[in-house]
Amino acid sequence: MRIFFSTVVLLAAFTAAFGQPTSVDAFAQNRRLGRGVNIIGYDPLWRSTNQSRFKEQHFRLLKEAGFNSIRINLHPFNRMSLSNEFKIPDNWMATADWAVAKARANGLAVVLDLHEYNAMGIEPAGNREKFLSTWRQLSSHFAKEPSEVFFEILNEPNKQLTPALWNEYLAQALRIIRQTNPNRTVVVGPAFWNSIDHLKEFELPPNDRNLIVTVHYYKPMAFTHQGAAWNEQTRDKIGVEWLGTESDLAAINKDFDKVQAWSKEQNRPIYLGEFGAYDKGAMDSRARYTAAVARAAESRDWSWAYWQFDSDFILYDIPHDHWVDPILNALIPTK
């Protein structure tokens, strides 16, 4: 009894010291994420708040439109240097603080997504210390945030960050996070760009149940990435339609059923962290596709985050200050 009481006292003291959220159910946490949007990954506000495209009012507009969460895409690496032990600059952290605070003030849950997939995919060993240092700093800095704030260890592990190596790296980062955030819900996904086809190679600590598994979905790429300059296979393909035929819908359901079977077997909730269709496609096809994917995810009790608010795959036209209505209505049906 004395040992038990001492443990309780220590845990209470730790919670009081760090302001940690109490332990929560990962499936309940996933329901809190609900319908979300990726934001500000490539916004110039990270260089200067005076250049910001995304404004404070956009948090309110997202909430009023019916969204429950945002996924903030973080790119700190190019502001970190070995010469100062990879310290994240204060002004960069202040921008992240602003985004988290304004989202919370508007009732939006937040996923802090480390979006350094390019650097980690090209040179994982060379960026390992920077990667781990980032999580030492982010996990400590945001340790007192409530359970509405989630950490995502890394967006889309790929290339040289193989499934086996990624399993090692994610375990190392998770151990760092748990030192200051024992009850924080953490989001993590499989290698090969968070592919649904690589879940079987994905290994998670069996005793850590406060994890949400993320996958991304852009199939068929010939449609979703048509005309995208960064994709060699699809950059010259334009005019590909998505009609929502029985076979089109069956392909989505087949893919999602495979993920759902894995989810039930592993008892892990699923977060569809990215999906959408690039602007070069016809709007009616894009809207049909977006609605089909969102409804397929919701029918399986997954949360999701559309890619993305601004820039390409566009949901909100910032220069003209209005929603792209066909995409908004596909994501948040009015009927």
What is the predicted pLDDT for the residue at 133? 98
Question: What integer pLDDT is reported at residue 235 of this predicted model?
Answer: 85
What pLDDT score was predicted for residue 245?
Answer: 98
User: Can you give the pLDDT at residue 5?
Assistant: 29
CB 279 within 8 A of CB 287: no
- CATH T-level topology, domain 22-331: TIM Barrel (3.20.20)
pLDDT of 8 reads: 32
Q: What's the CA gap between 219 and 158, in Å, rounded?
A: 17
pTM comes to: 0.93
Q: What angle do CA 103, 107, 112 make, to 5 degrees?
A: 40
Q: Residue 266 is encoded by which pair of tokens?
A: 């592993």
Note the pLDDT tens digit of each residue in 99-134: 999 999 999 999 999 999 999 999 999 999 999 999
> Which residue ranges in the chain fall short of pLDDT 70?
1-23
